[in-house]
Structure 1
Amino acid sequence: MKAKSFYQGIIWEKGDIKMLAYDFSYGWTASVLIVVFLILFILGIII
C-alpha cells in the first residue's frame, strides 16, 4: 500500500514537491523492506 502511494505521488502530485517527498519517504521504506524480504526468501530457497 505504501509503495502504491509512492508511485501515485510521482504521477499525481508532481506539482507538490512537499507531498512528493512525503510519499517518497514511505515508498522508499516499503521498497527496502520488500527487497530485503525477497533476498531472504531467495536465500532460504537456496539453503
Structure 2
Amino acid sequence: MDLALAGKRVLVTGGTRGIGRETVLAFARAGARSSPATAAPARTPTASPAN
C-alpha cells in the first residue's frame, strides 16, 4: 500500500518503545523521515534503522 509518505516528516510521541516504536519503523519503511519523541532522553535512539 502506497501511503505517499516519501519525503514527508513525521514526529511520533512515545516513539521509543512498544507501539510508538513500531509506528516510527513503519513510517520509515514507507519512506517518511520519522523522529521518535520521548520524555525520557536516555531512551532516544541515536541512529535510525536502515530500510
Same fold, TM-score > 0.5, yes or no: no
TM, length-normalised to structure 1: 0.33
TM, length-normalised to structure 2: 0.31
* Larger fraction in strand: 2
* Larger fraction in helix: 1
